[in-house]
């Protein structure tokens, strides 16, 4: 590795590459220089070096399924293809029994996680969701419940007149184990006012995750990239997450989420090429030195790009999904019916030259394949 670094012609890049391989933390300015000046092969090399220090040759996945109770939402984010108004032919509202029937469909199947998130429904309050968590726990006491983005939590907790600590504590008592990372989008306030002006701001998102961490719930973090944001805004976003992780250590994984342009009011922007996806994954792995895992969410980018990302620092492919999410298929993802068997995930990971490790929500190893 040292020989490869020495052969880098640009002295500034050579110094940055040495810093990365030595495990030194990059400043935002250094990260921006690396993003702008390094070629893709160097980004891949450095990100893979960091990844191997974190998790060796392991690439993780879990057996999971999603529940999306409704796509009716009080917000109307400009990038969202999922939101529909009540009464729209493409809208849905699962009843409590329908939600629980979805859980029952997995009876006898060794899934370890249910992921629950959807639109911010105007008439379902925190007590409704607390009862739902209790019912799910009664059906599957063995399963980890990852539920409700910070945006959903903000709305239901405020409507109940509670503090974040009180609201998250109530849901935790009823079975909530962890929080997904959705709703982060881009933290920059000016850009946020353009693309999602109604929803919870960056400070709210971070405060909710910090509160959850303080209460003993871990979470994931996300970033929506590839629309109107600049490299500086991406790095600022990751910096805020890195600073919170320094304080709490409560994030399990960071998930870059690609903007897909189908069926939304930002469609005219198009989509970034796969080379930009890979550069972004690599930068994430290099800059977020205190995150153990970088996840390539394959329903968003497709299984081929997800496999490619394993050469750019990612070490997690999420899970089997089993055709239980519509968020990205409604936005034009290549994965119209996202579902992978365990065997398919294992084969993908092995074909990329890594070792497949089945995990639970907290990255405890269930089985090495």
Shared-domain flag, residues 13 and 138: no
Shared-domain flag, residues 348 and 248: yes
**Spatial separation of the C-alpha atoms in residues 200 and 209, rounded to whole Å:** 13
Q: Based on the number of CB atoms within 10 Å of its own CB, is 338 exposed (0-12), middle (13-18) or buried (19 or more)?
A: buried
Q: What is the pLDDT of residue 329?
A: 44
Q: What is the pLDDT of residue 331?
A: 41
Q: What is the pLDDT of residues 282-319, one digit of tens each?
A: 999 999 999 999 999 988 898 899 999 999 999 999 88
For residue 219, list its beta bridge partners.
179, 251
16 within 8 A of 26, measured Cβ to Cβ: yes
The answer to whether residue 73 sits within a structural domain is yes
Shared-domain flag, residues 208 and 110: yes
SS3 string of 16-61?
A: HHHHHHCCCCCCHHHHHHHHHHCCHHHHHHHHHHHHHHHHCCEEEE
Q: What is the pLDDT of residue 140?
A: 97
Q: What is the pLDDT of residue 336?
A: 53
Q: What angle do CA 223, 226, 232 make, to 5 degrees?
A: 70
Q: What is the pLDDT of residue 327?
A: 47
Shared-domain flag, residues 33 and 77: no
Lowest mean pLDDT among 148-152, 187-191, 257-261: 257-261
Token output for 188: 């920059």
Q: What is the pLDDT of residue 53?
A: 97
The answer to whether residue 82 sits within a structural domain is yes
Shared-domain flag, residues 30 and 64: no
The answer to whether residue 306 sits within a structural domain is yes
Shared-domain flag, residues 24 and 82: no
Q: What is the pLDDT of residues 47-83, one digit of tens each?
A: 999 999 999 999 999 999 999 999 999 998 888 887 7
Q: What is the pLDDT of residue 82?
A: 74
Would the CA dihedral through 93, 320, 271, 198 be positive or negative? positive
Q: Beta strands 365-368 and 355-359: pairing type?
A: antiparallel
Average pLDDT of span 190-201: 94
**Domain region containing 6:** 2-38
Encode burial over 5-37: b for 16+ CB neighbours within 10 A, e otherwise: beebeeeebeebbebbbeeeebeeebbbbbbee
Shared-domain flag, residues 219 and 302: yes
Shared-domain flag, residues 32 and 102: no
Q: What angle do CA 239, 180, 97 make, to 5 degrees?
A: 165
Q: Which one is predicted more confidently, 314 or 320?
A: 314
Token output for 315: 């070490």
Half-sphere exposure of residue 191, counting CA atoms within 13 Å on the CB side?
20
Q: What is the pLDDT of residue 3?
A: 46
Shared-domain flag, residues 193 and 337: yes
**Spatial separation of the C-alpha atoms in residues 217 and 169, rounded to whole Å:** 10
Residue 256 belongs to domain with CATH number: 3.20.20.70
Shared-domain flag, residues 83 and 17: no
Whether the pLDDT of residue 215 is over 60: the answer is: yes
**Spatial separation of the C-alpha atoms in residues 132 and 129, rounded to whole Å:** 5
**154-156-162-168 Cα dihedral, nearest 10 degrees:** -70
Under the banding of pLDDT at 50, 70 and 90, the label for residue 323 is very low
50 within 8 A of 26, measured Cβ to Cβ: no
Rg (CA), the chain: 20
Half-sphere exposure of residue 132, counting CA atoms within 13 Å on the CB side?
25
The answer to whether residue 53 sits within a structural domain is no
Whether the pLDDT of residue 102 is over 90: the answer is: yes
**Spatial separation of the C-alpha atoms in residues 280 and 260, rounded to whole Å:** 15
Shared-domain flag, residues 64 and 30: no
The answer to whether residue 345 sits within a structural domain is yes
For residue 179, list its beta bridge partners.
219
Q: Which one is predicted more confidently, 90 or 1?
A: 90
Task: Pick the closest to residue 150 from 171, 173, 128 (CA basis).
Answer: 171
Lowest mean pLDDT among 6-10, 14-18, 253-257, 276-280: 6-10
Q: Which one is predicted more confidently, 266 or 292?
A: 292
The answer to whether residue 47 sits within a structural domain is no
Lowest mean pLDDT among 85-99, 144-158, 349-363: 85-99
The answer to whether residue 46 sits within a structural domain is no
Q: What is the pLDDT of residues 29-41, one digit of tens each?
A: 999 999 999 999 9
**Spatial separation of the C-alpha atoms in residues 348 and 345, rounded to whole Å:** 5
237 within 8 A of 195, measured Cβ to Cβ: no
For residue 368, list its beta bridge partners.
357
Q: What is the pLDDT of residue 264?
A: 82
Shared-domain flag, residues 149 and 254: yes
Q: What is the pLDDT of residues 146-159, one digit of tens each?
A: 999 999 999 999 99
The tally of domains found in the chain comes to: 2
Q: What is the pLDDT of residue 137?
A: 97
pTM: 0.93
The answer to whether residue 44 sits within a structural domain is no
């Amino acid at each position: 590795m040292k020989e490869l670094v020495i052969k880098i012609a640009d002295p500034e890049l050579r110094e940055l590459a040495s810093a990365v391989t030595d495990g030194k933390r990059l400043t935002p300015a250094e990260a921006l220089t690396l993003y702008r000046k390094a070629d893709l092969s160097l980004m891949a090399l450095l990100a893979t070096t960091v990844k191997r220090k974190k998790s060796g040759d392991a690439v993780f996945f879990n057996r999971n399924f999603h529940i999306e109770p409704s796509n009716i939402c009080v917000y109307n984010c400009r990038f969202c293809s999922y939101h529909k108004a009540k009464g729209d032919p493409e809208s849905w509202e699962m009843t409590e029994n329908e939600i629980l029937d979805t859980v029952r469909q997995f009876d006898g199947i060794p899934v370890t996680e249910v992921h629950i998130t959807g639109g911010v429904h105007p008439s379902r309050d925190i007590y409704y969701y607390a009862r739902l968590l209790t019912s799910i726990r009664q059906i599957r006491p063995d399963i980890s419940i990852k539920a409700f983005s910070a945006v959903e939590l903000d709305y239901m907790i405020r409507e109940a007149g509670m503090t974040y600590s009180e609201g998250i504590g109530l849901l935790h008592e009823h079975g909530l184990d962890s929080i997904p990372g959705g709703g982060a989008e881009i933290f920059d306030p000016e850009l946020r006012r353009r693309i999602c002006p109604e929803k919870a701001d960056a400070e709210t998102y971070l405060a909710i995750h910090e509160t959850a961490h303080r209460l003993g719930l871990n979470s994931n973090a996300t970033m929506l990239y590839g629309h109107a944001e600049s490299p500086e805004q991406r790095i600022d976003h990751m910096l805020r997450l890195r600073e919170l992780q320094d304080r709490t250590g409560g994030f399990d994984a960071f998930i870059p989420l690609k903007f897909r342009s189908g069926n939304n009011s930002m469609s005219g922007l198009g989509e970034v090429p796969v080379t930009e996806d890979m550069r972004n994954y690599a930068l994430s792995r290099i800059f977020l030195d205190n995150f153990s895992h970088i996840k390539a969410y394959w329903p968003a980018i497709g299984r081929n790009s997800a496999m490619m990302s394993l050469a750019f620092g990612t070490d997690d492919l999420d899970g089997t999904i089993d055709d239980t999410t519509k968020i990205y298929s409604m936005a034009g993802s290549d994965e119209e019916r996202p579902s992978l068997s365990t065997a398919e995930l294992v084969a993908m990971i092995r074909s990329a030259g890594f070792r497949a490790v089945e995990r639970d929500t907290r990255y405890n190893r269930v089985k090495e394949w």
